[in-house]
């Protein structure tokens, strides 16, 4: 992580640390038996586009800069992002600047390259990794909306909503919504963290973000 980016992604409270931990740990756990291949990437999609919520703040370690709110990753951009790793965060967008104290709802996007002989089912990815996270967190998550298969941007996808129960984290950004999308040998995870109710609960921001996804 570059020095100029590090402060923006650094968390200043236990609740915010928990959110980024989920952003990185949940999708990272999915990345077993993976490899990166530019040839495989080129066979999947030519690019993917997201539109971040109005007024939100974009953070990334990639070279991709939004065109206003529109965030576009070409196939080459995806290959460059994950060339040396099994899977990486593409970007995080936060409701407030990262240096603001207190709670800060966020949406993060990660990408993985899978072996060509792996048949991916997004609901199975979420199911297996949710179980893994539960084991590692002593069942700290309660499923409030079960894993559901759906379609996003013509891609097979799945969604689950969980909340943190017990401990100080349950008083903050205690709800996490996770999506998995599959595009050939690539999978994308979207991890959104907010409060279950109150001012820091997302209204239409996440729905609009997910609806904005388009593939080339």
CA-to-CA distance for 185 and 159, rounded, in angstroms?
19
pLDDT of residue 5: 29
Q: In this structure, what is the dihedral angle of CA atoms 57, 208, 158, 27, given to the nearest 10 degrees?
A: 0
Structure tokens at 49: 């586009």
Structure tokens at 128: 């297996």
Within the chain, which residues score under 50 in pLDDT?
1-42, 170
Q: Which residues contact 72 (CB under 8 A, 6 or more apart)?
A: 47, 48, 49, 64
Taking alpha carbons only, the member of 210, 208, 194 closest to residue 103 is 194
6-215: CATH, from 3.40.1000.10, 3.10.310.10, 3.10.180.10, 3.30.750.24: 3.40.1000.10
- The overall pTM is greater than 0.85: no
Residue with tokens 């990486």: 88
Tens of pLDDT, residue by residue over 152-198, are 998 999 999 999 886 555 456 789 999 999 988 888 999 999 998 88
Taking alpha carbons only, the member of 140, 127, 146 closest to residue 169 is 140
């Amino acid at each position: 992580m570059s020095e100029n980016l590090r402060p923006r992604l650094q968390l200043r409270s236990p609740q915010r640390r928990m959110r980024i931990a989920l952003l990185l740990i949940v999708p990272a756990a999915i990345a077993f038996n993976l490899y990166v291949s530019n040839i495989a990437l080129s066979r999947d999609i030519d690019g993917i586009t997201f539109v971040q919520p109005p007024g939100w703040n974009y953070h990334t370690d990639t070279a991709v800069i939004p065109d206003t709110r529109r965030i576009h990753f070409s196939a080459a951009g995806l290959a460059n992002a994950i060339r040396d790793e099994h899977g990486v965060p593409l970007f995080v967008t936060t409701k407030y600047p990262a240096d603001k104290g207190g709670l800060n709802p966020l949406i993060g996007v990660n990408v993985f390259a899978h072996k060509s002989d792996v048949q991916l089912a997004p609901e199975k990815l979420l199911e297996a990794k949710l179980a893994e996270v539960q084991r590692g967190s002593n069942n700290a998550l309660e499923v409030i909306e079960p894993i559901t298969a759906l379609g996003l941007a013509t891609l097979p996808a799945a969604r689950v909503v969980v909340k943190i129960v017990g401990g100080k984290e349950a008083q903050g950004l205690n709800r996490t919504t996770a999506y998995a999308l599959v595009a050939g040998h690539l999978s994308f995870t979207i991890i959104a963290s907010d409060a279950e109710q109150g001012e820091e609960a997302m209204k239409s921001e996440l729905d609009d973000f997910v609806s904005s996804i388009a593939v080339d």
